[in-house]
Amino acid sequence: MNREYYGKLVFELSRPGRRGYKLPSNHLEGNVEQLPKDLLRQEAPELPEVDELTLVRHYTNMSNNNFGVDTGFYPLGSCTMKYNPKINDEMATLRSMAGLHPKQPVATTQGALEAYYILQRSLSEIGGMAEFTLNPYAGAQGELTGLMVIRAYHESRGDSKRVKVIVPDSAHGTNPASAAVAGLKVVEVKSLPDGTVDVEALRPLLDDTVAAVMMTNPNTVGIFEYNIPEIAKIVHEAGALMYYDGANLNPMLGKARPGDMGFDVMHINLHKTFSTPHGGGGPGAGPVGVRAGLEKFLPNPRVVRQDDGSYKLVYDKDSLGQVSCFLGNFAVELRALSYILSLGAEGLMLAGSLATLNANYIKEALRDLYLLPIDRVCKHEFVFDGLIDKSTGVTTLNIAKRLLDHGFHAPTIYFPLLFHESLMIEPTETESRETLDEFIAVMRDIAREAKDTPEIVKEAPHNTPIRKPDDTQAALNPVVTYKDLKA
Ligand SMILES: *Cc1c(COP(=O)(O)O)cnc(C)c1O
């Protein structure tokens, strides 16, 4: 990249008096004195002054520094970062959909409501649930919504003693956080060495103060929780409900349904399993499904199909209320629907199987060099505990950084917390055999380098635009505006 633009903020390219755009005049000009004084700016804002070409080059060069699933292999574990087929974007940006106003009369939005309804039904079928709300904006908000449903259910039976939520030690951090935000107390249950929840440790924790048990299946180490039927039985006997964190639904698609396993409430991360883009933290959607009998507690509004085939918005009086504006992230929902309809039932089932096959393929090809703490057939992802040979001092962080030199995104590192040197790999279903083989070859090269020339790995990355930022300082004192930089 040209030095003139490289690593510079647009403010640093600014020169007084340059300009690339002029606002059209508007009818408010000359009427400024009619605006309330205390709302008027006292000084002009500090904006960069650049010509159009400088601006275009600035953003184009910056976008070239970005890495995404459209650029290369992105093997993050836990957060499914799958390819987002372009047909989904096409559907979401159709003028007839993107141009709608949420306050339009429902008589004029029947097509959009029908799409919404079909997605509610499709997710219910995939999850084995009676009904879904699409309103929550993310998995974490889905968890909160689901726990609010569970609270509303217990309260509706006059059972107010249930203030605890049991969460496995392998759980994603959002599980205990959501429970706390829902006003519930978190109790941890430990896992067995094989990564699954310890049923014998769970048993004594279950009593009439437990509202729910939250589980992820396959769990965050990519292992199928084969004891779910037994767990669901003892949880239900104790009067509590089963919550399914659907972030890892991908390998289950068309194979196994949370509803059939005994879960009562679940969420799905559309931006994971259903391929809607979620770079940079958003936007997402975390629809929540419930088994029969819990529908009335779901958030308002829901879309219902009437006998004459038309659709309407329903506000239930027993509902826990509204958790998002209007109907949630509609464009994300449309992308998910497009993905489901373009793959169909067979395609979805194949996606889950291929995700599982690809993960096991990489695991088996590297297990002679990388430490495999849980030696079982995995689902869509698995965890290495760093290199087998610890004598070189090469850490998981070093390996992750060295991968960047080879044009791969790093896997998830130091999560889950069950192991010291966690390196969590999820290839997803869409990667070709060639890409998987190339990744395996590079991982084998890095293991060899760690032995022969460990300094090369420890000092990586060597050829990325930015080499080694100070992670601690970046977290403690983030510089996020031009003013912070100048300060
Ligand atoms: C991603 C994830 C979540 C949280 O979902 P968000 O959509 O990021 O809020 C919860 N649990 C697990 C296991 C996850 O991987």
The tens digit of pLDDT for each residue in 407-462 reads 999 999 998 888 999 999 999 999 999 999 999 999 999 999 999 999 999 999 99
Please tell me the pTM assigned to this model.
0.90
Q: Decide: 214 and 174 in contact? Cβ < 8 Å.
A: no
| Residues above pLDDT 90, as percent of the chain | 82
The residue with greater pLDDT, 296 or 68, is 296
Coil, helix or strand for 265? strand
CA gap 209, 232 in Å, rounded:
17
Q: Whose CA is closest to 432, among 344, 357, 339?
A: 357
**What spacing in Å lies between the alpha carbon of 275 and ligand 1's midpoint?**
14
Bridge partners of 383, per DSSP, are: 424
385 C-beta closer than 6 A to ligand 1: no
Q: Tell me, what DSSP letter sits at residue 197?
A: B
Instruction: State mean pLDDT over 3-11.
Output: 79
Distance in angstroms between the alpha carbons of the first and the last residue of the chain: 28
Closest atom of ligand 1 to CA, residue 80: 15
Q: Is 138 in the pocket of ligand 1 (CB under 6 A)?
A: yes
Range with lowest mean pLDDT among 184-188, 236-240, 251-255, 465-469: 465-469
pLDDT of residue 280: 66
Contact 52, 20 (CB under 8 A): yes
What pLDDT, in 10s, does the model give residues 307-353? Answer: 999 999 999 999 999 999 999 999 999 999 999 999 999 999 999 99
Q: Predicted confidence band at 78 (pLDDT cuts at 50, 70, 90)?
A: confident
Q: Is the CB of 178 under 6 A from ligand 1?
A: no
Considering only CA atoms, which residue is closest to atom 8 of ligand 1?
139
Q: Which is it for strands 185-189 and 164-168: parallel, antiparallel or unpaired?
A: parallel
Could you tell me which of 280, 281, 298, 278 has the C-alpha nearest to residue 289? 298
pLDDT at 32: 74
Which pLDDT band holds residue 34 (cuts at 50, 70, 90)?
A: confident
Directed axis angle between helix 110-127 and helix 330-366, to 10°? 30
Distance 172 CA to ligand 1 centre (A): 7
Q: How far away, in angstroms, is 247 Cα from ligand 1 center?
A: 5
124-178 pLDDT, tens digit each: 999 999 999 999 999 999 999 999 999 999 999 999 999 999 999 989 999 999 9
Q: How confident is the model at residue 1 (pLDDT cuts 50, 70, 90)?
A: low
Average per-residue pLDDT for the chain: 94
